[in-house]
């Protein structure tokens, strides 16, 4: 078998919302299609991929470096030994040939886009949902029938007051979500505390709140903020400081008594290993949010899971960033804690399959080959037009 073409397009996912660090007014993503010569249901198998929100489209890197590198590779270097399917691990090696270690940045995002499309194609060729393929290859063969998800929102928005924030969170509860997350760090300390209390006031018993600073705080402010919120008993306090400031994370862990979450901006196995070694993270209560679509793809994520196991971390402490179907498949197939969700934001790339409602904070996955993009009509329509 072989790859016959690779097409990529830059797509806007702009929005007037902002977090503590960036606004999304010019946000883009790269949408990619890998077409193979394998025929299923009378059509060539096509694998689709894109990068998660929060990082701009790496289309130039894809066009100038990684797509040519993959297309120029000898077919034996990108397919399984029996020649019947693409081999994601071999392809990862091809993509990273002649690349120096370190300095991950947007390169990790570009490789992640291709990796997503490769896994989509691999599962379609095997005629399995990706979550089942992952469970068969790397797990017990059993999948989670439903996956825990939480609603990530609470962004800063022009003229958005406390009442509007409360209405937003009540809307998530009405959609079937149990737990919600909101942004902090983009206003004064007192304003953020008022915003947190306003959300807590509308959450029913059994629902919980996370807060996310998006790396905005220095050490002193991170500790001060943690001191102010500790009595709220939040589900977690997320990414207080720079994601690579392991000293800040370790010091914060000494002061803040409840769960901390981080990892969405950790883009490699080595950086993830350093986080576990030096950041004071607690495998009994903290959460890891590595997003494989931003960090060299699922091949690298599998390596990170192996590393975590060696350090006695359960996969159930992992809950990926991104709010997309790839992370949902990984959560169901590899026994993760759950997945993020962005209701109504970053569409059509965010969100899950049509006609699968959120029920009590959980969602089920469709029984369709691949990642399941074909079961999300607005996204599939866009992906079909990549390269046209």
Beta bridge partners of 260: 237
Structural tokens at position 171: 């809307």
Q: CA Rg, the chain, in Å? A: 20
User: Which residue is catalytic, options 90, 124, 183, 324?
Assistant: 183
Is 183 catalytic? The answer is yes
255 is annotated as an active-site residue: no
CB 320 within 8 A of CB 340: yes
Specify the 3-state DSSP secondary structure of 194: helix
**Angle at 333 (CA atoms; ends 106, 384), nearest 5 degrees:** 55
Contact indicator for 75, 37 with CB cutoff of 8 Å: no
How far is it, in rounded angstroms, from Cα 335 to Cα 232? 29
**Angle, in degrees to the nearest 10, between helices 298-310 and 105-125:** 100
- Which tokens belong to 112? 């992640």
**Catalytic pick from 104, 321, 324, 376?**
321
Alpha helices per DSSP H over 294-362: 298-310, 325-333
Catalytic residues: 183, 321
């Amino acid at each position: 078998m072989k790859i016959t073409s690779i097409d990529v397009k830059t797509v806007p996912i702009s929005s007037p919302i902002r977090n503590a660090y960036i606004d999304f007014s010019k946000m883009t993503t790269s949408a990619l299609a890998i077409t193979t010569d394998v025929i299923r249901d009378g059509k060539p198998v096509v694998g689709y991929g894109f990068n998660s929100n929060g990082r701009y489209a790496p289309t130039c890197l894809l066009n100038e470096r990684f797509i040519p590198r993959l297309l120029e590779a000898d077919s034996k270097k990108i397919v399984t030994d029996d020649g019947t399917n693409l081999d994601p691990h071999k392809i990862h090696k091809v993509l990273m040939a002649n690349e120096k270690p370190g300095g991950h940045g947007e390169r990790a995002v570009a490789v992640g886009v291709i990796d997503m499309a490769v896994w989509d194609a691999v599962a379609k060729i095997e005629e399995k949902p990706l979550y089942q393929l992952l469970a068969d290859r790397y797990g017990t063969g059993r999948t989670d029938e439903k996956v825990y998800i939480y609603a990530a929102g609470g962004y800063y928005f022009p003229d958005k007051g406390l009442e509007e924030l409360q209405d937003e969170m009540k809307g998530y509860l009405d959609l079937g979500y149990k737990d919600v997350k909101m942004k902090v760090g983009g206003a004064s300390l007192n304003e953020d505390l008022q915003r947190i209390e306003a959300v807590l006031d509308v959450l029913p018993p059994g629902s919980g709140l996370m807060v996310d600073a998006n790396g905005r705080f220095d050490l002193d402010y991170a500790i001060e903020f943690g001191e102010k919120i500790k009595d709220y008993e939040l589900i977690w306090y997320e990414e207080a400081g720079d994601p690579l400031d392991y000293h800040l994370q370790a010091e914060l862990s000494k002061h803040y008594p409840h769960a901390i979450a981080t990892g969405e901006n950790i883009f490699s196995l080595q950086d993830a290993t350093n986080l576990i070694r030096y950041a004071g993270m607690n495998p009994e209560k903290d959460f890891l949010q590595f997003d494989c679509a931003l960090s060299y793809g699922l091949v690298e994520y599998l390596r990170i899971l192996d590393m975590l196991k060696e350090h006695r971390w359960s996969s159930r402490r992992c809950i990926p960033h991104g709010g997309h179907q790839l992370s949902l498949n990984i959560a169901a197939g590899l026994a993760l804690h759950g997945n993020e969700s962005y209701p109504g934001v970053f569409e059509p790339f965010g969100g899950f399959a049509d006609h699968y409602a959120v029920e009590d904070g959980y969602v089920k996955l469709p029984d369709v080959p691949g990642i399941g993009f074909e079961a999300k009509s607005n996204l599939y329509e866009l992906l079909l037009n990549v390269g046209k």
